[in-house]
């Protein structure tokens, strides 16, 4: 796949550079002359390499912006000064320009002749190859990191998110709800008498029951609701944009769905299952990590079990 290379500079600079590197088969080239054009490109595309005109007004600002923006800091930034070395006398000024660009975040500063010369073209092509290797390595590391993150945040048995993912995500969801002023609720679900299932059928059947229940949770939740396996036979579900009344109704529907439809384990085993559910909704008094919200939902779960199981209990915290 071609890497995207963004050239930023005046029309003479970008036209000249396009001519010099367009035959490079591994890159697709786009150009920009203004700040608005550059910002639009960053919104719509993901350039792997940024080539900037050394004496262009946007150059230093763009270098600094890239290196200070987490999602863009990986982009390889190449600053090019077009200068005829035969007629150049102010090498000190050139060195100061290169030093400033590198301090601002450029990865490489090149001085090339305005006219294509074999040595310059070899240097430019070698530098482009190095930039593309950098981009390819970043992409490979990103894919690997995403895979490892997915493994670390996924429950090995049920394939839904695990407690680590929940502990990371709940504060983020609470922050979003508080900033955007939308309702947020939480369900804690526990399988009733799960030990009897393990004791009667064995742990392999018990594991199958957990997997089927997790699938049922995913299937019956809205797209923006996220289930997690919290541990053992306990699950939690973050209900976005969900008021207390809506959370109660969703919880009752889930409880009834589980109790009305036995889990078909195999051709010979069918298990009638019930769950107890505790529910709580976010209040202004809740802490940012969600500990108080989770504690209220957990208290609701305890109340549901004390009331005879196969129940839903809402804890308001009042």
**Would you please indicate which residues are annotated as catalytic (active-site) residues?**
233
Alpha-carbon torsion angle 290, 295, 296, 302, nearest 10:
150
Cα 118 to chain centroid distance, Å, stands at: 44
The gap from C-alpha 135 to its chain's centroid, in whole angstroms, comes to 19
Beta bridge pairs of residue 111: 81
Count of CB atoms situated within 10 Å of the CB of 113:
15
Alpha helices in the chain (DSSP H): 11-21, 35-44, 59-68, 91-104, 118-152, 163-180, 194-201, 203-220, 244-260, 291-306
Contact 66, 47 (CB under 8 A): no
DSSP label at 265? -
Paired sense of beta strands 184-191 and 234-240, if any? antiparallel
> What's the DSSP call for residue 107?
S
How is residue 237 annotated by DSSP? E
Q: Are 17 and 7 in contact, with CB atoms under 8 Å apart?
A: yes
| Helix, strand, or coil (residue 44) | helix
Dist. CA 8–CA 18, nearest whole Å: 11
Q: How far is CA 61 from the centre of its chain?
A: 27
Q: How many Å apart are CA 172 and CA 6, to the nearest integer?
A: 34
């Amino acid at each position: 796949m071609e890497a995207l290379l963004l050239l930023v500079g005046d029309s003479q600079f970008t036209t000249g550079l396009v001519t010099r590197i367009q035959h490079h088969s591994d890159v697709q080239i786009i150009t920009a002359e203004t700040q608005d054009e550059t910002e639009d490109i960053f919104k719509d595309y993901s350039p792997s390499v940024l080539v900037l005109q050394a004496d262009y007004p946007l150059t230093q600002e763009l270098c600094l912006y890239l290196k200070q923006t987490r999602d863009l800091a990986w982009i390889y930034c190449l600053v090019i000064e077009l200068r005829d070395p035969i007629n150049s006398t102010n090498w000190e000024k050139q060195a100061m320009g290169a030093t400033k660009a590198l301090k601002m975040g450029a990865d490489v500063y090149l001085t090339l002749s305005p006219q294509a010369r074999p040595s310059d073209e070899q240097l430019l092509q070698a530098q482009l190859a190095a930039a593309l290797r950098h981009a390819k390595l970043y992409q490979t590391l990103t894919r690997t990191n995403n895979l490892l993150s997915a493994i670390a945040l996924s429950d090995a048995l049920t394939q839904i998110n695990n407690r680590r993912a929940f502990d990371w995500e709940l504060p983020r969801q609470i922050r979003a709800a508080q900033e955007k002023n939308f309702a947020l609720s939480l369900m804690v679900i526990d399988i009733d008498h799960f030990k009897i299932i393990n004791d009667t059928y064995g742990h392999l059947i018990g594991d199958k029951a957990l997997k089927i229940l997790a699938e049922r949770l995913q299937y019956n939740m809205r797209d923006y609701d996220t289930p997690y396996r919290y541990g053992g036979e306990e699950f939690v579900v973050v209900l976005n944009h969900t008021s207390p009344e809506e959370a109660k109704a969703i919880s009752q529907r889930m409880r009834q769905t589980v109790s009305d439809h036995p889990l078909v384990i195999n051709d010979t085993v069918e298990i009638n299952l019930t769950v107890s559910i505790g529910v709580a909704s976010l209040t202004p008094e809740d802490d940012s990590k969600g500990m108080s919200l989770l504690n209220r939902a957990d208290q609701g779960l305890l109340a549901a079990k004390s009331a005879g199981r196969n129940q839903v209990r809402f804890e308001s915290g009042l």
